[in-house]
Homo-oligomer: A and B are copies of this chain.
Amino acid sequence: MKKLKIAQIAPPWISVPPKKYGGTELIISHLTEELIRRGHQVTLFASGDSVTTAKLFSVYRKALFEKGIPWNDTFHFLFYASTVFEKIKNFDIIHNHFNYWGLAFSRFTKIPMVTTYHGDFATAEKNPARFQILKKFKKNAFVSISNSQRKFTKANLNFIATVYNGIDLKKFKFNNKSQNYLVWLGQITEKKGIIEAIKAARKARIILKIAGGVDKNHLLDVGFYERKVKPLIDGKQIKYLGEVGSFKKNILLRNALALINPVKWNEPFGLVMIEAMACGTPVIAFNQGSVPELVKNDQTGFIVSQFNKKRKINIEGLVEAIKKINQIDRRECRKRVEENFTVEKMVDGYEKLYYEIVKKYQKN
């Protein structure tokens, strides 16, 4: 089949791939590099400190976040979006990862566009203008990153497919023999269930290693860490390692008995669960958001209902899961990722969609 000319539009806030935190930018990077490997001509619109084998078109030399520009700065984004859309010519398809901005300019180009919305709709749609923009462009082609994600928009968007995020398997070494500790990994916020993880580990009398930073710009998170989390860290059973780089993170994940991830909100895609399973590490999580799509209950971990019969947070459920975690065959975890959540699988999904959209567009 004829190779495609593809424009990938990333936000200018974080480089592609990210130097530190930035799930969306990591996915855009994987997608772009694999499309290039498959022979497509890709132009990546992203900050100038991005690293790619695609043609890079950058409006800003440095990612805006590193320059201290706030994420909601209007005029930097306006300048970026208008410049990008002036330059978008002679492509077969545009892949928009720049949410509202990409949508708002989509009617000023004749090139077909597909939008992957990487965030959580419930939060976004609390802002009436964001909701309005989604509703206005609801007939655009949207891709969801999990089936669960779709349930939380009220904008009646035209989802044409779910394409799961994929990871680079080579970066996650399989380990069939775990050590005797649990791991909790993520940015430290209340809704990610860190308190619940600690309580469950204590009751199960097992070591819990916590890794992840606290966003210093988020006073609520800083307060939560200082008042609620820190007092529970004893350095013996409950250990806090701070923020860890990808090398340490991988060791931490692959040696763990399980990832305990009792997230309490409907996260559209929990990348860390995939990363754990890729190492062979099973996942214990609440039945929320994308969890049932990622974790196969009883086979690659345990999905616990968030509330018990007394309508309280189900710590006992987590404890039970910890106690029976040795029933899980770690090879099943790896297999689940290999079969569903690799970069190759993700790019298979998007590539197929691109061809479908281009074909449909040429017919009209």
Write the residues of chain A forming the contact surface with B, with a CB cutoff of 8 angstroms. Answer: 72-79, 81-83, 85-86, 100-101, 104-105, 107-108, 127-130, 132-133, 136
Contacts and interface: CB of A to CB of B under 8 A. Distances in A.
A127 B83 CA distance: 18
15 contacts: A73-B129, A74-B74, A75-B127, A75-B129, A75-B130, A75-B132, A75-B133, A78-B100, A78-B104, A78-B129, A79-B129, A81-B104, A82-B105, A82-B133, A105-B108
Majority SS at the chain A contact face: helix
A81 B85 CA distance: 15
Nearest to A109: B108
A100 B80 CA distance: 12
A133 B79 contact: yes
A101 B78 contact: yes
Contacts of A104: 78-79, 81-82
Nearest to A77: B74
A107 B133 contact: no
Contacts of A82: 104-105, 107, 133
A76 to B, nearest CB: 4
Interface centre among A82, A101, A107, A127 (most CB of B within 10 A): A82
Given A72-B74, A76-B128, A78-B78, 6 more contacts: A74-B129, A75-B129, A75-B132, A78-B101, A78-B104, A79-B104
B133 A78 contact: yes
A127 B78 CA distance: 13
A100 B100 CA distance: 18
A93 to B, nearest CB: 19
Contacts of A105: 82, 108
Contacts of A79: 104, 129, 132-133, 136
A207 B33 CA distance: 76
A98 B81 CA distance: 17
Closest 9 interchain pairs by CB?
A75-B129, A108-B108, A82-B104, A76-B129, A74-B74, A78-B104, A79-B133, A75-B130, A79-B132
A254 to B, nearest CB: 42
Nearest to A106: B82
A70 to B, nearest CB: 11
A104 B79 CA distance: 7
A287 to B, nearest CB: 33
